[in-house]
Structure 1
Amino acid sequence: MQYTLNKIYSDYANVHQVCREVLDVSNQSDIQAVLIGGSLLGMVRDGDFLPWDKDLDFAVFEADIDRTLQLEEQYRALGYECRVHHLGVRNESELQEGLALIFRLTRLMANIKLDHCIIGGALLNLYRDGTLFDETDTLGVLIAPHNDQQRQEFIDALGGLGEVALSHNTDELKSVLLVVGAWRINFFCYIEGTQGFGWRDLNCEHWFDQALFPAQCIMLDDSAFYAPANTEDFLQARFGQYWQAKPQAKFTRGRVVGSMQLYKDGVMFDFIVHYVRGAKTYWYEPAANVISTIGFLPCSLKDTSAGKMLFPDHPEVFLEEHYPNWQVPVKTWNGAVDNPTIIPTDLAMQIILAEDNDFKRG
């Protein structure tokens, strides 16, 4: 089985519009969102966003975490797909709740005869280890409704379990989000097309060259879950030839909010949570980064091609620490470079937790 990942982006014209629309909402809640990353580099060096950059990066800080996450419903009402990402380890109680939720959802979908299978890291953990990995963030499920009536029956049933939100690709349903307690479950709609068999998630299309249904029933003690057809071929295609080897844990303790991603019209907007500790600022994107606090704070409003937005007062500090040779102009993306700000993931977590008395996150 072969697997390919296709990233979908818009033309450059949508970037300014999406940026302005997102910031207009966050500004109404007095959220301090500071321009960072390649978005800041383009604005400082070239006077505009980089023409190949469809990924807008803004820092938000601890005091604004809850208010930022509470904007998800507003952004969905404007047509954005939303993802919230946490990093770290879950406690045993949450893991058991997640496992029980998987089995409950399996029974629900079986009762309405909805074809489905688990995908992503949760499938790998359950199939290989017989349990959820304690660093599991979200759960992913692939669904293949037979008709609109069955799809609506499924959505209605989910409404009895928790909060439900829908995402669309033009007029077609793309995915369904269910939030139950500390768990977020993404149900992706199965696609069969000329490119193969798969699903869409935000700006990514996941394609396999073999059908993923009929699903395979897997027993775990006295309960069952469903995996894609040819499960082990799927796992090798998706996770590589060493999928059977359990990886080393990245974290020893603690769990924090990493980011909220918004996607619309081919543009990704990232609110990346930054944790200030003394003279340093720590965040995950997705690895752990550290830069001197002055690289982000203080900050001030400046006029840009996408309207007013917050800039660090000393943007050169961030750019010099984060991007080697950032002042050298380029006409196209010249590939990833070594990032000197990367530090061990767990080290960043422990530093964040050491002074995280007011903003505990699990």
Structure 2
Amino acid sequence: MPEQVRISLDAMGGDHAPDMVVAGAEIALKRMPHLKFLMYGDEARIKPLLDTCPELAAVTEIRHASQEVTMDDKPSVALRQRRDSSMRLAINAVKEGEAQGVVSAGNTGALMAMAKFVLKTLPGIDRPAIATYMPTQRGETIMLDLGANIECNENNLVQFALLGEVFARVLFGIEKPSVGLLNVGIEELKGNESVKKAASILREINLPIQFAGFVEGDDLAKGTVDVIVTDGFTGNVALKTAEGTARLLVHFLRETFRSSFWAKVGYLLARRSLQRFRERMDPRRYNGAMLLGLNGIAVKSHGGTDALGFSNAIGVCHDLIANRLNDTIKAEIASFEAEMSKAEAAKAAVALQDTAQ
């Protein structure tokens, strides 16, 4: 039997909470019967929903929260004034060891601020990053950061690369993930100083990373590498552009098949293939962004998702817990710091020798 996993849920986070959260937890439980939940939020609204799901109710404990974090709350305001919110209490449960991970579809900025304040970062990590995976021509590609850090130096980017490759190994089982730095070209001379310095460090370190150098925007859809690393500003723009392009493509297909009688006939003939296309492009399938680098597992679900999408976010949280993601990250960071110390010692020895001569 799989080891039992307990996850805390922000039951009031998201556009359709708490209904979506309860329904999503029920779907997740059917897939993973060894799950247990701590559900934080308005008990008067959550309990009637759980009463209709006896199997879920049997493995769920409701914990009342007198506050909610709204989508309009600024992260600083949420951190100071929403201490009894469903989001904050769900994160606290991970800190206190009552839950092994937390899932929320609430305000992204507030979730990051609260999680970083409560859980802290792992040793050797300066800043946490938001990571998710998306469909490509080759399968899936992980991308980070997606908005947590607008400006990054070379050390941040190197740490993101380490976090991303561990994420790829844990989530996809890739023994030696390929990692690329998003840039304005693949030539070594292109890009800002942070990107060029990060590339230089990644080429030199002796870790289980297959560094592929620089990649460009179109490599995201091609699936050129397993992990794409960038700063939060660029990553968020790239992600939103990809989502918008996917919606535009679906819109054009609908318009085309409604344009004439024969187009409608063509739709009927191609319906099964189009259904497979729709399932492949379904954003609910890829729902669940990980806040990597925190001393605890925290997963952000899309705020507008439905029950199926939220259940997939719970699934991501479960997989990261079951595969001990943070233990692997700690070992990787320790190896990286040891390698960097060796490199610095070697450079110091060469400099001393040159001075002596």
TM-score by shorter chain over 0.5: no
Task: Give the TM-score, by structure 2 length.
Answer: 0.24
| Structure number with higher helix proportion | 2
Task: Give the TM-score, by structure 1 length.
Answer: 0.23
| Structure number with higher strand proportion | 1
